[in-house]
Amino acid sequence: MNWLTNFVRPKIQKLVRPKEVPDNLWHQCPKCSEMVFHRELEKNLRVCTHCGHHMRMPVRDRLRMLFDNAQWTEIEIRAVAVDPLRFKDRKRYSDRLKESQAKTGLKDAVVVGHGTMGNLGVVIAAFEFDFMGGSMGAAVGEALIAAAELAVLQEAPLIVIPSSGGARMQEGILSLMQMARTTVAVDKVREKGLPYLVVLTDPTTGGVTASFAMLGDVALAEPGAIIGFAGSRVIEQTIREKLPEGFQRSEYLMDHGMVDMVVPRHELRARLIQLLGLLLHTNPAAEVGDLPASSRRRKALERSTSAPPDPSVPDDYEP
Amino acid sequence: MDRRVLFRCPRRGGGFGVYGSNAAMHFLDFEKPIAELEGKIAELKHLSDADGLNIAEEVGRLQSRVDKDLRSAYAKLSPWQKTQVARHPDRPHALDYIRALIQDFMPLAGDRLYGEDEAIIGGMGRFNGRSVMVIGLEKGRDTETRVKHNFGMARPEGYRKARRLMQMADRFGLPIITLVDTAGAYPGVGAEERGQAEAIARCIQTSLDLRVPLISIVIGEGGSGGAIALAVGNVVLMLEHAIYSVISPEGCASILWRDGEQAKTAAEAMKLTAQDLERLGVIDGIVPEPMGGAHRTPEAVFTALRDAIEMHLNQLVRIEGGQLRARRRDKFVQMGRLQE
């Protein structure tokens, strides 16, 4: 509300604001309540142009922002049993699934893509929060297993970007089992000596946090993201106290030693490339596109595993 | 006279209980007719003691009715009734099983990082003569011990201690037995600050990495992430009336039905009983409980569990370490998968 809306009389308001304008052209920032024009918001990677608040991002926008030339290949995920418990709360789970599929154009809450970042081959598994709150059921488990197997096959690093409320309750105990399954998956990547990076985005909670999301070699977080195990409402009810300022936000976790860095979205791609370069003993910024990514990766491995004798080290040096 | 007072169970959604001056027996609401009959028996016995009357016949008749009613009530418990039995205050807890099944139990404490969390009891001992590591979630029995064990809700320290003991067992080739009984990991500010999620994740990761046999038994309540942290076993068993679920029925009801009172409905929908989980292929076996539940005849359930653990352990110790690890991982990866 500004002085103009108060000043201009209701009938005239109707004239100046024609009804046929779709209401999704302007987005209200949930933090500062300012209105941001949709194109400006997209250009700014869904970061509020007024206050810098990081809004949730559709999964493919995120992949577009991370991969070289905004290009990647998505992989097919193994089919899972649909609605194994025939679960019905106020609505049937199978109906909820169909609704989410129609809304997002996705089969389930995770998209797995492979491509290059700074010319390094990478596999990314990213969550779509709009698909049932990014919740983890069997399909999400399969997606992470597929992503990990692909990373191992391609000898590529794995980057996982959760945005999830936790386990998918409609799959009952089978959703809980995904905590073990996804842990096996990311361990396969780690065991091959390949980097496993996690970018924690808003929100990362429950069973997702308590499994693969907290097991990254490096944990990055987007500013202001809610990251935690128990929901803040549950904690408040248990301890009957107000929660501290900024509780369960990225910066709070950083202060408590739970993440390595809080990285603004604009810097995320560059930072990931930098990290991968360091972990793989390559310099993606210096070497530009002279080798295909996979042979670069192999070179990097050779360099790291079989170090040639260094003539500058004297023979009698015994550390 | 035997003075009995009706009182409300302090548990969530708890039913009515009868507190007798001679025995602190708790009855669940569906057990009320049985409780009345047992009250009558006790009264008769009391009278016969006083008057020297021979009422053996009447007592015998009542007792057989109690047995029949109990058997039929416990044969077809609803998921919500199972939830109540699994949380029954008189149900044997982890420490009771440790006392009954483990000789020379040597408790070990602390995570070497921050503190000691008594919601998780851990230590070495002998099971049927064999050295083992035992890790159990303990709820406590009375006010004092419940507070001491934080009602069985572990903090990060507890999971980090469990992980330390698992790694130690791995180094010394000790099979691990875990006893799961928790409403869930503790939801608190400090627990979050010290990385509850990370502690659980690492505990699962370590469980999946072990080269020693890991047998997990859900003895009461298997609540969510706080339970699976200790239940990624080569063999996962459940007691007949135990429950194991992704969230408590109350929590599920308040989120999906927006009404915590719908817990009963949620319990039905969630498929949280041992029988459901066996059908879903999530657990490897069910340990039978005596008539009327584990709390009525604890000795019977101790024996049944001892036999079950012995049977599985005997098989598992013959498998080479790398195989144990690979099979455990593969079991979870294959879980719930469609056959191709």
B335 with A181: Cβ contact below 8 A? yes
How many Å apart are CA B305 and CA B303, to the nearest integer?
5
Q: Name which of A179, A206, A230 is nearest B204 (Cβ-Cβ).
A: A179
Please indicate if any CB of chain B lies within 8 Å of the CB of A137.
no
Which residues of chain B make contact with A179, given a CB cutoff of 8 A? 201, 204, 225, 228
Residue B132, strand partner residues: B125
How many Å apart are CA B168 and CA B12, to the nearest integer?
37
Q: What is the pLDDT of residue B144?
A: 95
Residue B216, strand partner residues: B178, B236
Per-residue HEC secondary structure of B11-36 comes to CCCCCEEEEECCCCCCCCHHHHHHHH
Q: Which CATH superfamily is domain A56-280 in?
A: 2-enoyl-CoA Hydratase; Chain A, domain 1 (3.90.226.10)
Quick one: average pLDDT of A303-317?
A: 64
Q: What is the pLDDT of residue B33?
A: 85
Domain residue limits, chain A: 23-55, 56-280
Cα distances (angstroms) measured from residue A273 to each of A19, A65, A119, A290, B23: 46, 13, 9, 17, 68
As a residue count, chain B comes to: 340
Window from A158-162, A248-252, B58-62 with minimum mean pLDDT:
B58-62
Compute the nearest-CA separation of B269 from chain A (Å).
6
Q: What is the pLDDT of residue A301?
A: 57
**pLDDT at residue A294 tops 60:** no
B189 with A80: Cβ contact below 8 A? no
Residues 231-260 of B with CB under 8 A from A: 232, 244-247, 251-252, 255-258
pLDDT digits (tens, 9 = 90+) for B55-89: 778 888 888 888 888 888 888 899 999 999 999 99
A 10 A CB-CB count for B42 gives 16
Compute the nearest-CA separation of A214 from chain B (Å).
5
B197 with A176: Cβ contact below 8 A? no
Q: Name which of B185, B246, B271 is nearest A229 (Cβ-Cβ).
A: B185
Residue with tokens 């169970």: B9
Quick one: average pLDDT of A52-65?
A: 96
**pLDDT at residue B22 tops 70:** no
Quick one: average pLDDT of B195-204?
A: 98
Pairing type for strands B214-223 and B243-245 reads parallel
**pLDDT at residue B20 tops 50:** no
| Topology adopted by domain B86-334 | 2-enoyl-CoA Hydratase; Chain A, domain 1 (3.90.226)
Interface test with A, best of B189, B203, B238 (most A CBs within 10 A): B189
By percentage, how much of chain A surpasses pLDDT 70?
84
Quick one: average pLDDT of B163-169?
A: 98
Write down the ipTM of this complex.
0.89
Q: Name which of A81, A88, A169 is nearest B255 (Cβ-Cβ).
A: A169
B246 with A79: Cβ contact below 8 A? no
B256 with A207: Cβ contact below 8 A? no
pTM recorded for the entire structure: 0.87
Per-residue HEC secondary structure of chain A comes to CCHHHHHCCHHHHHHHCCCCCCCCCEEECCCCCCEEEHHHHHHCCCECCCCCCECCCCHHHHHHHHCHHHCCEECCCCCCCCCCCCCECCCEHHHHHHHHHHHHCCCCCEEEEEEEECCEEEEEEEECCCCHHHCECHHHHHHHHHHHHHHHHHCCCEEEECCECCECHHHHHHHHHHHHHHHHHHHHHHHCCCCEEEEECCCECHHHHCCHHHCCCEEEECCCCEECCCCHHHHHHHHCCCCCCCCCEHHHHHHCCCCCEECCHHHHHHHHHHHHHHHCCCCCCCCCCCCCHHHHHHHHHHHHHCCCCCCCCCCCCCC
Which residues of chain B make contact with A88, given a CB cutoff of 8 A? 269
* Whether the Cβ atoms of residue B200 and residue B160 lie closer than 8 Å to each other: no
Q: Is A90 left (phi over 0), alpha (psi -120 to 50) or beta?
A: alpha
Quick one: average pLDDT of A195-202?
A: 98
Domain residue limits, chain B: 5-76, 86-334
B280 with A173: Cβ contact below 8 A? yes
Burial zone of A251 (CB within 10 Å; 0-12 exposed, 13-18 middle, 19+ buried): middle
Q: Name which of B196, B200, B336 is nearest A84 (Cβ-Cβ).
A: B336
How many Å apart are CA B129 and CA B65, to the nearest integer?
41
